[in-house]
Structure 1
Amino acid sequence: MKKNLFAFILLLISFSVSAQKDLYEMRVYELKFGTPAAGLHNYLEKALFPALNRAGVKNIGAFEEWSQNQPGKIYVLIPYGSMAAYEKINSGLSSDKTFAEASAEYNQIPQDKAPFVRYETSLFTAFSGIPQIQKPAAGSMVFELRTYEGYSEDAFTRKVKMFNQGELDIFKETGLHSVFFGEKIAGPQMPCLTYMLGFKDMEERDANWKKFVDHPEWKRISKLPEYANTVSNIYRTFLKPLTYSQL
């Protein structure tokens, strides 16, 4: 009896661990036109990222847009194990002396030399189909960030279901290399979901998207009535990793 109970407890623990879903923070820094961004880059690379790493956060992403539009933007993707971890780690930064010392130069930047105007933060819970961040293959240089808006909460929920119950499998089969998929729980454009794909170059990206569009299973599920009108707008941005990105 005790042996069976012990096995059952281990099964519950195993299920709990496997069901654990990441919480993602996505920051988008809008750089100040005409002001050097070196101070922000140094802060992220030498202060914030190492502090988060010490607290157990791994695979932090840092990207810039492929376009040369001005003002430029920096995208930072931070994966946390849970909302509790997000709260604990961020509150703990204030007592991290090493972080304070590494941040000193950044904190002394005068107002007229500030490298960014503001940054926008969004929070996401990971999809059940991809519950943790996926580190891309070495040499991935093209990252495609997509946001799908739903016209209603129901439309959004149905699109998430479509991904979890079929579309993610087709992504994997056709070489659309997933980095993360998240349901937005705080931030603009809600209700919406956001995901990121990684490719070695644009040629691989274009070829594999064609495989996806031509895939018979995608053609089948895309015509199912339950998934009709699930996406009202799609926003796409191409990113490239910064030198200190951990993805």
Structure 2
Amino acid sequence: MKIIKFLPLLLTLVALTNCGNPNPETTETETIPETTQDEREFYQLKIYSFSSEEQIAATDDYLKNAFMPAVKKQGIENVGVFKSRTNETDTVPKTFVLLPFKSLKQFQELESKLLEDETYVTAGDAYINAKFDNPPYDRIESVLLQAFPDMPKMATPNLDSPRADRIYELRSYESSTEKYYRNKVDMFNAGGEIPLFDRLDFQAVFYGEVLSGPKMPNLMYMTTHADMATREKHWEAFVESPEWKELIAMPKYENNMSHIDMWFLYPTEYSDY
């Protein structure tokens, strides 16, 4: 009878002894491997195309006075708004909006939360309720990305040149297959392209794997330069660097890119960077 009476007490003492270590076989010296998966941001790149100055002005007014203040209320900081520099092969004026998200849930909920914001709806009325025959843009292209493991969060460049002179170079790399695409992503991370860009002061804003977009498989990244002359010097140094020459000589990285698109952008006066 005495054994039965003290058995519950004995079991309680054993449980209290092990509560700090739920696995008695695990020692204090064992560690859980670190991962950056949960730390990697998601990005949405929205590309507005226009056919008139009136459209550009209407969308600028909306982005500056309605959209930017509203997304800040949702805890989304470091939003970039850029204008494209048109050229002979791309004469369509465009506005690029870059949004960072802490999670896919934050991305999914943004639109509905914006429409619940009365201040946003009022400030953006002309844009939100534009007539079908007078839209504030011709089309919006949306690209969803996730940050590279070796640069899991967006960075703000340190540039003091006039905004109109700055070069924000957005690049899109396509690959022939998913396997070659993963190889190119590996080239940036394990291969060391990101540290090389850092060493040469490219001041990258982000590197991202495209999760959903019109051109797949695809990665995109953005580097920044004080002006076009600085941009040319940076790329010359990159091409001539021993690290790059070693990388492109490796057989394992051959043929991992099939097409490149690039845009030269500059930040609007209301852009966060």
Do both proteins adopt the same fold according to a TM-score greater than 0.5, normalized to the shorter chain? yes
Instruction: Point out the structure with max Rg over C-alpha.
Output: 2
- Equivalent residues in 2 for 1:1-247 (5 A)? 2=20, 15=34, 19-33=38-52, 35-67=54-86, 70-139=91-160, 141-165=166-190, 166-247=192-273
Number of aligned positions between the proteins: 242
Q: Partners of 2:54 and 2:117 in 1: how far apart?
A: 29
Q: Deviations over 1:64-107 (max 9, x none)?
A: 11226543111111111111211133332221122112112323
Q: Deviations over 1:146-173 (max 9, x none)?
A: 0010000000000000101111011101
Deviation at 1:139, TM superposition (A): 2.8
Deviation at 1:224, TM superposition (A): 1.1
Distance 1:119 1:18, change over 3 A: closer
Distance 1:175 1:235, change over 3 A: same
Secondary structure class of the residue paired with 2:189 = helix
Distance 1:212 1:71, change over 3 A: closer
Q: Partners of 1:17 and 1:154 in 2: how far apart?
A: 22
Deviation at 1:204, TM superposition (A): 1.2
Instruction: Please state which structure has a larger fraction of its residues in strand.
Output: 1
User: TM-score, normalising length from structure 1?
Assistant: 0.90
Gaps of 5+ in 1: none
Distance 1:110 1:192, change over 3 A: same
Deviation at 1:17, TM superposition (A): 7.0
Deviation at 1:215, TM superposition (A): 1.0
Q: Partners of 2:135 and 2:53 in 1: how far apart?
A: 11
Q: What is the root-mean-square deviation in Å for CA atoms of aligned residues? A: 2.3
Q: Deviations over 1:103-156 (max 9, x none)?
A: 123234333332211101010011001111111113361100100100000000
